[in-house]
Amino acid sequence: MRMARFTPRFWVSAVVFALVVAFAVLGPIVFGANPGKDVGGLYDPPSSTSWLGTDDLGHDVFTNLMLGTRTSLIIGLVAGLVATLIGVVVGLLAGYHGGMVEEALMGVTNVALAIPAIVVLILLSVAIDFRSIVAMAVVIAITSWPWTARAVRAQASSVRTREHLDVARLSGARTFDILIWDVLPYLMSYICMAFVLQVSGAILAEAGLSLLGLGPSGSVSLGIMLNWALVGESLLNGAWWAFLPPTILLTLIAFALLMLQSSLDEVFNPRLRRGRRERGAAAGAGAGAAVSLVTSGTVAAETLDVGAAQEPVPEPGAGERTVGSGPDRTSERSGSA
């Protein structure tokens, strides 16, 4: 019965993402990967020897694509984990403790939020000489934890006042245990969604930095492939196989993860789902009223039966907007730049 809660949207986005992961993990094993080997000349079109043609150095694009997707996913995963971890620790401590601890931690968080991520990313990437994949991930995580911290703090401080925590405190449980066993479970669904968005934000941030020429040294990622394609003028030469595959994969990953997050929201948040039908109906009625205004009196029967109820309504303040606003604003527009 539990499975029935997953929406088709969840399955579609999960399958798309799983396919991308399989391509990155299993691809090199199945097809064999020999990075950095010359297999042809400059921008050979796709053929039976190189399925997606060659790049500006005569390397196989398909091989690069498998390894590049792998690098991008690793960076996304590591950065997402680190950023979520920092954000959860800071947010939990601040939200549960309150008082001076909260003031201090949130002060740091707010300052970190105010400083644009792209600036710190560029400066840090310029400053470190050899950028390993993990170093890149950590750099990205350093700039992206604050919004998770803020969201977790808000949730934690609302959990703090529940009665069962008083019981736990009275029975003499240590603060650490209370945080892990009594507070954290309430936030898990929330943290899961924040993590998904952190992963997608980190992948896009890496691609943006790599495009600027600040990618991980000595390896290939989707962003680095785009950088090569731009520097090698594949666009002007019409060598679409050099830039189209990484572009498509990046878009696919970003879209799948975003859809995954918003459908997880419905799975985890039963209030959101139950409320959806009621709210949808109300929205429909409201929309009908509005339409009657727009069409100045000529209320057609079918406009009253509005399909707004079909689409999930992201609830401002509870779902997508709080979790989404952070990485969306900063990484889509500037973090990934």
Binding residue (CB under 8 A) for another protein from 20, 24, 79, 124? 124
Angle at 255 between CA 324 and CA 137, to 5 degrees: 70
CA 137 to chain centre: 14
Q: Which residues pair with 59 in a beta bridge?
A: 38
Q: Which is nearer to another protein, 189 or 247 (CB)?
A: 247
Is residue 16 a contact residue for another protein (CB under 8 A)?
no
Is residue 337 a contact residue for another protein (CB under 8 A)?
yes
Q: How far is the CB of 164 from another protein (least distance, A)?
A: 24
Is residue 244 a contact residue for another protein (CB under 8 A)?
yes
Q: Can you read off the two tokens belonging to residue 265? A: 């929201």
Q: Which is nearer to another protein, 81 or 120 (CB)?
A: 120
- Annotate each residue in 197-216 with x if it binds another protein (CB under 8 A) or - if it does not, as one string: -------x--xx--xxxx--
- Cα gap 238→130, rounded to integer Å: 33
Backbone angles phi, psi at 38, to 5 degrees: -75, 125
- Cα gap 189→255, rounded to integer Å: 20
- Cα gap 183→160, rounded to integer Å: 7
- Annotate each residue in 293-322 with x if it binds another protein (CB under 8 A) or - if it does not, as one string: xx-------xx--xxx-xx-xxxx---xx-
* Inter-residue contact 65 to 249 (CB < 8 Å): yes
Q: Tell me which residue has tokens 């973090």.
A: 335
Q: Can you read off the two tokens belonging to residue 162? A: 């529940």
Is residue 126 a contact residue for another protein (CB under 8 A)?
yes
Q: How far is the CB of 173 from another protein (least distance, A)?
A: 28
Site residues, another protein (CB under 8 A):
107, 110-111, 114-116, 118-120, 122-124, 126-129, 204, 207-208, 211-214, 226, 230, 235-236, 238, 240, 243-244, 247, 250-251, 254-255, 258, 279, 282-287, 289-294, 302-303, 306-308, 310-311, 313-316, 320-321, 328-329, 332-334, 336-337
